[in-house]
Amino acid sequence: MESEKTIIGKCPQCGGNVVKTLKGFACENSFGEQPSCSFFLFSTIGNRRISDTEAVQLLLNKKILLDGFATKEGKCFTSILSFNLDGSVNMTSQIGTCPKCGGTLYVGSRSIGCSNFKHPQNLCNFTIWRNTSGHEFSLEELESLLSEGATSSPVDTYDNKGNCQKHRFGFNDNKEVIQL
C-alpha cells in the first residue's frame, strides 16, 4: 500500500507543509532525527474537535472564530483561535474595543457584547448580533465593522418576506448595526 500525506496548509512557524496526523496537524519539518520545527496543532482543543476544514482555514487566515468549545464543567463557549509567536494556539473571546464606551467586547455564540453591560454607573448595551438580516458575519467582517465602522463589501441581506438585497453594514449614531 502506497502511503499518502494529507497536506492541510503551511506551517505558521517555518512555512513547511502541515500534514494530518493521528492526533492533529504537524509540520513536516518536525519529523525525523533532527527536526527543524516543532509546530503541532492538536485536533481537539477546548473539548472540541477541530475539523480538517477548520484547520485549513486557521492555517490560511492565521485566525478563526469557532463555537462549541466547552470548559471542564461543561459550559459552552465561543473563541477566536490564533497562533502565539511560538506556534502554540491562543484562545480568546475578546474581539475588540466597544465603539460606544471603550469597554472590551466579547464574542458569544449569538452576539458580541460589551464588558460594561452590567456596569452600575456606565451601563452599555452595545450589541452586534452575529446573524443580522439573515447574514452570518464572518470574523473578518466583524473586525472591519469594529475597526473601520463598516463591512468592506456588500452581502445578501433578507427581510421578513424573503426579499434579498445587497448591503454593507455599518453603525448609526447610537452605534446600532444598520444596513448601508
Q: Which residues bind Zn ion (CB under 5 A)?
A: 11, 13-14, 16, 27, 29, 37, 39, 98, 100-101, 103, 114, 116, 124, 126
Residue 94 contacts by C-beta under 8 Å, 6 or more apart in sequence? 80, 104, 105, 106, 107
Nearer to Zn ion, 18 or 80 (CB): 18
Give the nearest distance from C-beta 62 to Zn ion in angstroms: 14
Nearer to Zn ion, 9 or 16 (CB): 16
* Number of Cα atoms under 13 Å in the Cβ half of residue 4: 3
Amino acid found at 176: E
Q: How far apart are CA 177 and CA 130, in angstroms?
A: 11
Give the nearest distance from C-beta 96 to Zn ion in angstroms: 11
Give the nearest distance from C-beta 101 to Zn ion in angstroms: 3
Nearer to Zn ion, 146 or 178 (CB): 146
Contact 83, 90 (CB under 8 A): yes
Give the nearest distance from C-beta 123 to Zn ion in angstroms: 9
Q: How many CB atoms lie within 10 A of CB 8?
A: 22
